[in-house]
Amino acid sequence: MTVETKKTVASATAEIDIEKAQQFMHKVVADCAATVSVTLAVIGDQLGLYRALADMGAVTSAQLAKSTHTSERYVREWLINQAAAGYIEYDTKSGQYSLPNERAAALLDTDSPFYLGGALMIALAMTKAEPRIRENFRTGAGMRWGEHDPYMWEGCERLFRPGYLANLTQSWIPALDGVQAKLERGAKVADIGCGHGASTIIMAKAYPNSHFFGFDAHPASIEQARKHAEDAGVADRVTFEVASSTAYPGNDYDLVAFFDCLHDIGDPANTIRHTRDALAPDGTVLLVEPAAGKHIEDNFNPVGQFYSGASVLVCTPNALATGTEALGTVATDDALAAVVKKGGLNRFRRVLETPINRIFEARI
């Protein structure tokens, strides 16, 4: 009797259900295929293959290769992979490939709330850290943000910037008690862990009467943030400096913001304590954190899968490299509240949420 006609079969250790085993095999194959496709998607982004597809309409591999000055022999199977992955479409009659507008928004439009090109870069960058993180499992050591592949830094800006564009000044800041009015009149704002400065610059453009200070411990990110501020025409009201979250300069800040970074910090309570001392008497902390559930099983979805994986490969290692406490990317509301209150901010509330973020307000 063949395996296909049996309901169960003996494995090396136990009897298994064949149908369930085959279903799981299919899932693993799909995950492996997705990993490969992510790598090829980043290649398509970097070489302008998606852009050419969007601009040219339906094309053959030869036409796409000629337009992008790439090798047709490589482009040929790249197209097959991307069609199999569902990123592009293939017409069996014409033998041509195309990129539908909806998928172009996710792959090309860096201002679109549907854009996910940054997530592809982050996913690829995280895999490159595997040898180091594998050893960290044994030693408990960490890995700093700046030690990751540069795709990580650019990918994070690309991933989160569209959400900031769509929500930061439209809904998040207006949801904070009295903060928008202060910013419109003229306020002093600190953006901690500012990275390439996307969030800082968005606020500066929206509130021309206010002054903004972006701080990050990663020198390369601060250098890039300064360039972005110049390009955006706000360098006269935005200052970027290399500084840690527990020692950034200044005081009497009307608003101190943490965008998707408190969980990366190795000493979050002392960070909040320093922030409390840096706030103006009626100052506010805006805390934006990744989406996460109250219970472990609430994270059993694609967003939770991505964020928990990022916690292992990026966020927790940075926290352990810079301190002794690692909140992690899927820290619950209660865990965040405990850290904020330990740091001396007694008023804490969740004000809003998006599919990928939770937004909190904290005050003295």
CATH number at residue 18: 1.10.10.10
Residues 177 and 69 in one domain: no
Q: Which of 60, 125, 129 is nearest to 98 (CA)?
A: 60
- Whether 126 is in a domain gets the answer no
- Whether 134 is in a domain gets the answer no
Boundary of a domain, candidates 105, 122, 152? 105
Residues 90 and 199 in one domain: no
- Whether 230 is in a domain gets the answer yes
Total count of domains within the chain: 2
Residues 232 and 333 in one domain: yes
Q: Which of 145, 165, 177, 341 is nearest to 245 (CA)?
A: 145
Average pLDDT of the residues of the chain: 95
Residues 56 and 196 in one domain: no
Residues 212 and 315 in one domain: yes
Kindly compute the dihedral angle of the four CA atoms of residues 17, 19, 21, 24, in this order, to the nearest 10 degrees. -140
Work out the burial of residue 178: count CB atoms within 10 Å of its CB; fewer than 13 is exposed, 13-18 middle, 19 or more buried: exposed
DSSP 59: B
Q: How many residues appear in the chain?
A: 364
Q: Please name every residue paired with 204 in a beta bridge, in sequence order, or none if there are none.
A: none
Q: Which of 176, 187, 208 is nearest to 288 (CA)?
A: 176
- Whether 146 is in a domain gets the answer no
- Whether 3 shows a pLDDT value over 60: the answer reads no
- Tokens of residue 160, six digits: 């989160």
pLDDT tens figures, 10-45: 556 678 899 999 999 999 999 999 999 999 999 999
What is the CATH number for 324? 3.40.50.150
- Whether 56 is in a domain gets the answer yes
> How many angstroms separate the Cα of 352 from the Cα of each of 339, 341, 347?
19, 20, 16
pLDDT of 2 reads 47
Residues 66 and 183 in one domain: no
- Whether 191 is in a domain gets the answer yes
Phi, psi angle pair for 241, to nearest 5°: -140, 150
Handedness of CA 91, 92, 94, 97 (dihedral sign): positive
pLDDT tens figures, 184-238: 999 999 999 999 999 999 999 999 999 999 999 999 999 999 999 999 999 999 9
Boundary of a domain, candidates 90, 105, 120? 105
Percent of the chain predicted with pLDDT > 90: 95
* Domain boundaries, position 42: 3-105
- Whether 117 is in a domain gets the answer no
Q: 8 pLDDT band (50/70/90 cuts)? A: low
Residues 47 and 173 in one domain: no
Average pLDDT over residues 70-76: 98
